[in-house]
């Protein structure tokens, strides 16, 4: 059945018809876009609040620019659902984040209107500047625009690009989408600067008050051609004054700067040699179009400061934009999450287990400090933030800073715990090596969303962390199989004297049919248990022919697969959970290799350099790789696309069925 669109949206040839729409039609289109996004995201899940906040901005961009010719680069890309709807993909929008459907982020192979693929924060300015330089080198005249949120602007990479762009003076438009949020509320001095009036008082978030209106009037009118020409004439007159001309010009420029800085928040960007316009009401399409046209006519870098409301048009999202930043299925009428399918694991969830255990440990250890990079809710730290506010630090979208900041804390005797998604921790690799591990500082790195995350796709899969972490000296690395083991691993990491990384997946681990989850069903556990580094655990004793060695979240599915094979054919495989990827449980693994005819190694990480590679290296070093059959299951040497996580695991043979099939095949290969 074809996807049904609202009347105006269905009647338009998109994006070509948008410039010709009347103001009333644009308002209707904005409402229809919100209705469609709400309908689809409530079913498919996704980034709701960010996209609802930029509907009018998207319409204005498409009214002013030709998206097939002019480049619009969205930072992060989680707010690009309106862009997808209005650039020729409306008829497929119901496939959003589904396997084989539209990606949840801009994707160059999906549409010529997606100028640059994104998924991580703070990249838009660098990419857009590169496009602007390429345009000029190739003699083009297209426009290049970057749309970046105030949360992403806290990232160091964004400031590096601002510095370069201002110095080069290229024709470039930067739109600062200022909604006072990244995922959680924006933090730091930059956010305070953008939302304080010249007297240092907090201003209203609306952009139609007197200070904002005066700022907009000044910034807009000082950029007109007439104003620029008048400034040039005045500069010439001042310079012509004998002996003191340069001093007079300097005084005049300082006076202008002081006057503007009193009324506008644009002085920061003007210090980077950007022309500043704003703040602009980001939900007034007419005003947006006018100022975009002004920016379009400037032959220099310009920043438009646009104020929007995250979750605009949907009351539950406006009331709680952090919860509705990224959502699973929910009722659009109430905003309440839908109940998970009955066959889904029903445990508390890894992030919840981590947060609960950390709170309990912090009760008795005042040295513990929790650090996150703009994701307290997603990493399970919301309760910690409430209970220990003085020991909770959200650094914003600044993973590199988070890790070195933690190293500084550790160097003075504290025990910092850095909770960041696996895919984002990649950004801090140098800091992990140089600032933490080289100095053997006791920092605990907690990599949430390790392995396949599902619908957010290749920009968000934690596919490589075992590979890039296990090669770093001085670092211990654990992959707990379930929520209880995660709590014990965290306790263990805080007892060790050096750096430790814990990697764990999104969601829940407990398979309803498996009795082999950790004994503790409460979070946090009643009694923490130390897990000695370099020790694993035998979960099933088999008949001595085949042993499944399954790391992390694949251990319990491996148990169920072995039970299924035993019930079907009577062939009983052993199942071993290594628990530690580094140091490996070498003695136990060597014993397994000597007492079994075959090993099946399973991991939810790239097979290149991951856990199974470590085991193969161990076997080779001990001359045990000859007669022993070894098979591996893991992530292939390609980027895994978006789709439901369990569907992706089924395709890759990493679910119970796939492990059972590999196990049966291995049994048949044995004499």
Residue numbers in the known binding site are 78, 119-121, 150-152, 179, 314, 399
Catalytic annotation present for 427: yes
Q: Which of 384, 489, 506 is nearest to 444 (CA)?
A: 489
Nearest to 274 by CA among 162, 125, 150: 162
DSSP 8-class letter at 79 = T
Structure tokens of 263? Answer: 């009324």
Q: Which residues pair with 392 in a beta bridge?
A: 370
How far is the C-alpha of 597 from the C-alpha of 586, rounded, in Å?
18
Q: How far apart are CA 641 and CA 98, in angstroms?
A: 10
Binding-site residues from annotation for thiamine diphosphate:
78, 119-121, 151-152, 179, 314, 399
Map tokens 């250890």 to a residue.
365
What is the rounded distance in angstroms from the CA atom of residue 236 to the CA atom of residue 245? 9
516 neighbors 494 (Cβ within 8 angstroms): no
**Catalytic-role residue among 26, 427, 571, 649:** 427
Going from the C-alpha of 405 to that of each of 399, 421, 436, 559, 579, the distances in angstroms are 10, 17, 10, 40, 28
Please state, in angstroms and as integers, the Cα–Cα distance from residue 52 to each residue in 30, 31, 34, 612, following that order: 10, 10, 6, 44
Task: Determine the Cα–Cα distance for residues 385 and 371; give it in Å rounded to an integer.
Answer: 10
Strand partners, 280: 306
Residue 432, CA distances (Å) to 319, 439, 449 in order: 37, 10, 18
Cα(343)–Cα(562) distance, integer angstroms: 19
Quote the CA–CA distance of 373 and 375 in Å, as a whole number: 6
Query: Which of 612, 492, 500, 488 lies closest to 550 in space, CA to CA?
Result: 612
Q: Of these residues, 26, 89, 260, 310, which one is catalytic?
A: 310
Strands 574-577 and 537-540 come out as: antiparallel
**From the annotation, which residues make up the binding site for Mg(2+)?**
150, 179
CA angle 408, 414, 418 (to 5 degrees): 70
* E strands, 122-193, in order: 144-149, 173-178
Residues 6+ apart with CB under 8 A from 107: 114, 117
Of the candidates 373, 325, 581, which has an alpha carbon nearest to the alpha carbon of residue 471? Answer: 581
Alpha carbons 499 and 446: distance in angstroms, whole number: 11
Q: For the chain, percent helix, then strand, then coil, each to nearest 5?
A: 45, 15, 40
Where in the sequence numbering do the catalytic residues fall? 310, 399, 427
């Amino acid at each position: 059945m074809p996807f049904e669109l609202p009347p105006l949206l269905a009647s338009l040839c998109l994006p070509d018809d948008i410039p010709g729409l009347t103001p009333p039609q644009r308002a209707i289109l904005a409402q229809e876009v919100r209705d469609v996004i709400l309908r689809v995201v409530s079913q498919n899940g996704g980034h709701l609040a960010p996209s609802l906040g930029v509907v009018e901005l998207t319409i204005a961009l498409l009214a002013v620019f030709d998206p097939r010719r002019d480049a619009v680069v969205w930072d992060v890309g989680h707010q690009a659902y309106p862009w997808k709807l209005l650039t020729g993909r409306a008829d497929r929008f119901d496939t959003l984040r589904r396997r084989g459907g539209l990606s949840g982020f801009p994707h160059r192979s999906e549409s010529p209107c997606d100028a640059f693929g994104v998924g991580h924060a703070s990249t838009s300015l660098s990419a857009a500047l590169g496009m602007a330089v390429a345009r000029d080198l190739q003699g083009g005249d297209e426009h290049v625009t970057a749309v970046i949120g105030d949360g992403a602007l806290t990232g160091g990479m964004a400031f590096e690009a601002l510095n370069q762009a201002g110095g080069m003076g290229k024709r470039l438009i930067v739109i600062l989408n200022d909604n006072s949020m990244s995922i959680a509320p924006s933090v730091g001095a930059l956010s305070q600067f953008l939302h304080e009036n010249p007297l240092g008082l907090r201003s209203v978030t609306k952009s139609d008050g007197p200070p904002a209106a005066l700022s907009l009037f000044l910034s807009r009118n000082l950029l007109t051609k007439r104003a620029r020409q008048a400034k040039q004439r005045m500069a010439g007159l001042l310079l012509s004054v004998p002996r003191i001309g340069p001093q007079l010009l300097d005084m005049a420029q300082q006076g202008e700067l002081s006057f503007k800085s009193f009324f506008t928040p644009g002085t920061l960007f003007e210090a980077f040699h950007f022309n500043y316009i704003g703040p602009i009401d980001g939900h007034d399409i007419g005003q947006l179009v006018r100022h975009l046209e002004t920016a379009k006519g400037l032959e220099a870098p310009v920043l438009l400061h646009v104020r929007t409301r995250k979750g605009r048009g949907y009351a539950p999202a406006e009331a709680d934009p952090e919860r509705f930043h990224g959502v699973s299925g929910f009722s659009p009428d109430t905003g309440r999450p839908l109940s998970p399918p009955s066959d889904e694991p029903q445990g508390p969830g890894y992030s919840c287990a981590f947060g609960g255990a950390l709170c309990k440990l912090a009760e008795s250890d005042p040295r513990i400090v929790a650090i996150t990079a703009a994701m307290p809710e997603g990493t399970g730290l919301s309760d910690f933030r409430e209970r220990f506010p003085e020991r909770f630090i959200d650094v914003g979208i600044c993973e590199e800073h988070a890790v070195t900041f933690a190293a500084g804390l550790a160097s003075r005797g504290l025990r910092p715990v850095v909770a960041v998604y696996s895919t984002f921790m990649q950004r801090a690799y140098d800091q992990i090596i140089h600032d933490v591990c080289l100095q053997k500082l006791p920092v605990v790195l907690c990599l949430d969303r390790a392995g396949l995350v599902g619908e957010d796709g290749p920009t968000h899969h934690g596919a490589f962390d075992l590979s890039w972490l296990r090669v770093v000296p001085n670092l211990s690395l654990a992959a707990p199989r379930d929520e209880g083991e995660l709590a014990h691993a965290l306790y263990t990491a805080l007892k060790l004297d050096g750096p430790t990384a814990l990697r764990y997946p999104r969601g829940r681990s407990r398979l309803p049919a498996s009795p082999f989850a950790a004994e503790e069903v409460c979070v946090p556990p009643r009694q923490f248990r130390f897990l000695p580094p370099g020790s694993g655990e035998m979960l099933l004793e088999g008949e001595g022919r085949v042993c499944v060695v399954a790391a992390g979240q694949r251990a319990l599915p491996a148990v169920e697969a072995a039970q299924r094979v035993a019930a079907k054919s009577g062939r009983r495989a052993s199942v071993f959970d290594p628990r530690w990827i580094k140091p490996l449980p070498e003695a136990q693994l060597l014993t397994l290799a000597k007492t079994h005819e075959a090993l099946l190694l399973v991991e939810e990480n790239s097979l290149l350099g991951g856990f199974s590679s470590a085991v193969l290296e161990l076997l080779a070093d001990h001359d045990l790789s000859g007669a022993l059959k070894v098979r591996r299951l893991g992530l292939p040497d390609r980027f895994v696309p978006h789709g439901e996580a369990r569907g992706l695991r089924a395709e890759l043979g990493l679910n119970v069925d796939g492990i059972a099939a590999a196990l049966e095949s291995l049994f048949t290969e044995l004499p």
